Chains A and B, each alone.
Chain A
Amino acid sequence: MAVLRSIGKWFEQRTGLGAVIAVPMGHRVPRSSASWAYVFGSATLVLFALQIATGLCLALVYIPSADQAYDSLEYLNYQAALGWYLRAVHFWGSNAMVLVMTLHMIQVFLWGAHKYPRELTWIAGVFLFLCTLGMAFTGQVLRWDQDAYWGLGIGTSIIARVPYAGSALVHALLGGPIIAGRTLSRFFTLHVFVIPGLLIGLVGLHLWLVLRLGINEWPMPGRLVDRETYRKSYEEDVKKDGVPFFPVAARKDMVAMGVVLLAVLLCAAIFGPNGPNGVPNPTIIDTAPKPDFYFLSLFALFALLPPWTETATLLIGLPLGIVFLLLVPFLAGTGEKSWRRRPVSVLGALLIVLTVVSLAYLGVIVPWSPVMDAWSALPTPVVYVDGRTPLELQGALVLQNKQCRNCHSLGGEGGRRGPALDGVGTRLTRDQLIRQVLQGGGNMPAYGKNVTPAEVTALVAFMQTLRPKNQRDARTATMPVTPAR
C-alpha cells in the first residue's frame, strides 16, 4: 500500500492531474440535485464509454468491405471467442444509450434545466442526441444485411427528394452510383471516426458547461428564474446548503451506472446479438426491410402521411423540428421551472412521447404492408366454405389466387391494408362489389384487366355469402325485398 501511495505521489508531483480532477469531483452541488431523477446523464455517459470499448473490440475483426463485411460478422457470431457477446453488448448498449439519453432529455426538460443560464448545455445536448441517432443509423448500416441495404435505399430515396441537389447528395452519400462497397466505407468512416469524434467533443463541452454553470437545482413551484438574480442566488444556495458532488451526489449516479451496465450485459447474454439478417444481395427481393426501433416511428410516418405531404414533412418538417428543439431554451428561458406550473410543456412532452411510441408500435405491426404470402400460405376459414355452392367455392379460390388476402383479412388472418372481408356481404351489394373489384378505388387497385368475367361472377357470389348468420345481404333502398337466404 505504501509502495502504491509513493508511486501515486511520484506521478502526482510530475503531472498534477490528481489536483485537477479533485476540483470537479469535489465541486459543490445543490443538495436537492443528489436525486435519483438526476442519474440519466451519467448513465448515458457510461453507456457511451461501453460503446467505445466494445466498438474498438469489434473493429479488430470487422471488415468494412461490401464483399466481406457479412462474413466477418458471421465469424464474430460463431467463431471468434466471445465475438457474439461483444456484438450483443454493442447492440444492446446502443439501444440502451438511445433510450437512457431520451429519458435524460425528457427529465432535464421537465425539470426546467434548459432555462437560463443553461441554454447552451441544452443545445449541446440536442446535438449529442442527433449524433447518437446518427451513430444508431450508421451502426445499423455496418450490420450490412438486407435491412441495412434496403434501409440505405430508404435513406437514399429520402435525400433524393431534396430539390436541385438531390442527385448530388445521393452520390455523395453513397460514394458511387449504387449502394455498394464505397457506400459501406463511407458509413464506416462516419460511424468509427467522424461522429464519435464529434460526440467526444460535444460530451466535453456538455460536461464543462455543467461544471461551469452548476447542476440544475430541484425546481420549486413559484421560484422563478430571473436573468438578473438567478446566478447569484444559485451560488448562495450552493454555498449555504451545497454538498460535494463526490461522493454525496455521485453515489446515486454510480448505482444507476452499474444497474444500466448490468442490464445491458444481461440482455446481451440472454438475447444475444442482432443479425446479421440475410446476405445483402439485392437480387434476393423476398424481404421486408425494417429499421431498428429508434427509426420505426419515422418508418411508420412514411406510410401514414398523405403522400402529397411527405416531401414537405421530410425536408421542412424534420429540420424545423430540430430547430424547434434547439430554440426551446429561448422560447421559455426564464420563469417557472417546476413541471407543476408548466402544463403546456408537460402536455407537449407527453404528446411527443405518445406520438413517437404509437408510431413505433404501428411500425412493428405494419398494418399498411401487404402480407406477401397470405394468398398462398393462409387457409380459408372452414365456416366460409361450409355449405357453399360450387360457384361460391370457385369464388373462394379466386379470392386466394388473386392475392386479395395480401391486403384483406378473413377470419382475422391476412393483410390489414384494406378492410377485413368478414361481413362484406352486409356492407356492399352485388353491384357495388363488382364495381369495387373492377374499378378499385379507395386505395384498392382496379382488377378490371386482371380478372375474367367468370372470375368476377364467382368472386362476388362468394363475397356475398360473407356475412354473419341470420344477417341479410346489403341492399340498396330501391331493391325489391327478397327473403334472406
Chain B
Amino acid sequence: MCSGHESLPPSTSSRRSFLFKLGLCLNVVAATLVGIPVIGYILGPVRKRAMQAWISLGPVQSFPEGQTRLATYENPFRVAWDGVTADIPCWVRRMEGARFQVFAINCAHLGCPVRWFAQSRLFMCPCHGGVYYEDGSRASGPPPRALFEYEYQVRDEKLWIRGGQIPTLSEPA
C-alpha cells in the first residue's frame, strides 16, 4: 500500500495527510489493544456462573437437634493473602434428624452480621434493627426478605453447604 502511494505524482500534502491518518490509525489500534486487556483484567472477577462449591461444616453431631449454632468455614475460593477474612460464619439450625436450615450471616437488608438469641428464638441485626424468626423469615424491620439460606446436604455423617460468595439481593447464597 505504501509503495503504491510512492509511485503517485509527488504531492506532499496528500503524503502528509496520509502520514497523519496512518499515525492516528496506529494509535487507535494500539489504544484498543491496550484497552481490551485492561478492561478485561479489571472485570476479571466478574463471572457469569456463580462461584459455588460444596463445603463441609463438620460432623452432624456437632449440631444438636432443636438448636441454632454458629458454624464457620473457610471460603473455597480464597487466595493466600486473605488471612482471617476468608473465614466465613453462618447459622446452622438443626430441626431434627437430617433436616437443617443453614442461614448466611448477612442481614438481607444491608449485609450486617445477624445475631441469634436462643431465648426469644430471634435473629437480630445490629445495624438497622432487622429481626428474623428462627426459620429465617422476616419478623420486623427494614429487611426486604428472609435470611439468605444455603443449599445443604448430609453426606458421610457430615453437613455440607453450597457456598462461596457473599450473599446479596441480586445473588442469594
Give the interface of A toward B (CB within 8 A).
65-68, 149-150, 153-154, 156-158, 160-162, 166-168, 170-172, 174-182, 279-283, 285-289, 299, 302-303, 305, 307, 310, 368-370, 372, 375, 401-404, 406-407, 417, 440, 443-447, 449-450
Contacts and interface: CB of A to CB of B under 8 A. Distances in A.
Contact of A160 (B72, B129, B169): B169
B171 A289 contact: no
Interface in B122-155: 122, 124-129, 131, 133-134, 139-144
B86 interface: yes
B45 A171 contact: yes
B9 to A, nearest CB: 47
B56 interface: no
B47 A171 contact: yes
B77 A177 contact: yes
A172 B124 contact: no
Nearest to B108: A157
B166 A156 contact: yes
B120 to A, nearest CB: 4
Contacts of B47: 171
Given A282-B84, A285-B113, A305-B142, 15 more contacts: A66-B82, A150-B111, A157-B168, A166-B168, A166-B169, A177-B164, A180-B86, A181-B82, A181-B83, A181-B86, A283-B87, A283-B89, A368-B141, A403-B120, A407-B129
Contact of B45 (A161, A172, A445, A447): A172
B101 interface: no
B115 A402 contact: no
A166 B46 contact: no
Nearest to A183: B85
Contacts of A180: 75, 78-79, 82-83, 85-86
Given A157-B110, A307-B144, A449 B79 contact: no
Contacts of A404: 120
Contacts of A417: 129
Interface string B152-173: 0000000000001110111100
B88 A178 contact: yes
A177 B124 CA distance: 25
Contacts of A175: 45
Contact of B85 (A149, A157, A401, A450): A149
Interface of B: 42-43, 45-47, 50-51, 70, 72, 75, 77-89, 105-106, 109-115, 117, 119-122, 124-129, 131, 133-134, 139-144, 164-166, 168-171
A172 B47 CA distance: 9
A447 B111 contact: no
A296 to B, nearest CB: 12
Contacts of A305: 142
A407 B143 CA distance: 17
Contact of A310 (B51, B115, B142): B142
Given A286-B115, A450-B121, A181 B81 contact: yes
A356 B158 CA distance: 51
A370 B45 CA distance: 36
Q: Report the 7 A-B pairs with minimum CB-CB distance, sorted nearest first.
A: A67-B83, A166-B170, A160-B168, A445-B139, A177-B165, A153-B111, A157-B111
A445 B122 contact: yes
B47 to A, nearest CB: 7
B128 A369 contact: yes
Contacts of B119: 375, 401-403
A446 B164 CA distance: 33
Tell me which of B70, B72, B75, B142 has the highest count of chain A C-beta atoms within 10 A of its own C-beta: B142
Contacts of B85: 66-67, 149, 178-181, 280-282
Tell me which of B84, B126, B143, B166 has the highest count of chain A C-beta atoms within 10 A of its own C-beta: B166
Contacts of B51: 177
B165 A166 contact: no
A153 B51 CA distance: 18
A279 B86 CA distance: 13
Contact of B112 (A67, A153, A179, A444): A153
B166 A174 contact: yes
Contact of A176 (B42, B45, B144): B45
Given A160-B169, A171-B45, A443 B113 contact: no
B126 A372 contact: yes
30 contacts: A66-B81, A67-B81, A67-B85, A150-B112, A153-B106, A156-B166, A157-B109, A166-B171, A167-B168, A177-B45, A177-B77, A178-B75, A178-B85, A178-B164, A179-B166, A181-B80, A181-B85, A280-B84, A283-B84, A285-B70, A288-B127, A368-B141, A375-B117, A401-B119, A402-B119, A402-B120, A403-B117, A440-B140, A449-B121, A450-B122
Contacts of B117: 375, 403, 406
B129 A369 contact: yes
B113 A150 contact: yes
Given A150-B113, A177-B75, A160 B170 contact: yes
B110 A279 contact: no
Given A174-B45, A180-B86, A287 B126 contact: yes
Nearest to B47: A171
